[in-house]
Amino acid sequence: MLIPEDLRYTRDHEWIKLLEDGSTALVGITDFAQHELGDIVFVELKSAGTKVKDHEVFGTVEAVKTVADLFAPVAGEIIEINPLLDNAEIVNQDPYGNGWLVKMRVENHASLASLLDAAAYHQLTGE
């Protein structure tokens, strides 16, 4: 499984990447999560402009045999939904690239430090 070193991770298998502007971040599900879910057929997300709390459900991902909640890694405001999600299989094909889910404005940058780094996420998943 691919676990990029430059991301932070949740125990629920979401990743977050702070963008160069320092105030926004991309959020998605990990390679481990998409592999465990299987073929993803639909993604439903809260709309842009929605404020979410740390660990609040911000959507669901539906695979052929299951539906899983998506949890916000940090508090903030969803400012963009990935337009490529009309083809949900992009999450399986490229979970860390074109398969990102939302762009969000991060409320508290210090909260990123409480998330798992790549080594801790490796340990969590046993990968």
Mean pLDDT, consecutive 10-residue stretches, the chain (127 aa), reads 94 96 95 95 96 96 94 97 94 96 94 94 90
From CA 52, how far away is CA 37, in angstroms rounded?
Answer: 24
State which H helix or E strand residue 70 sits in: strand 67-71
Res 22: pLDDT? 85
Per domain, the residue ranges of the chain are: 13-112
Dihedral sign of CA atoms 57, 44, 123, 39 in order? positive
The edge-to-edge listing of strands for the beta sheet with 51-52 is 8-9, 14-18, 24-29, 102-106, 76-81, 51-52
Res 127: pLDDT? 72
Res 50: pLDDT? 98
Res 110: pLDDT? 87
pTM here is 0.95
Res 84: pLDDT? 94
Give CATH for domain 13-112. Answer: 2.40.50.100
Res 79: pLDDT? 98
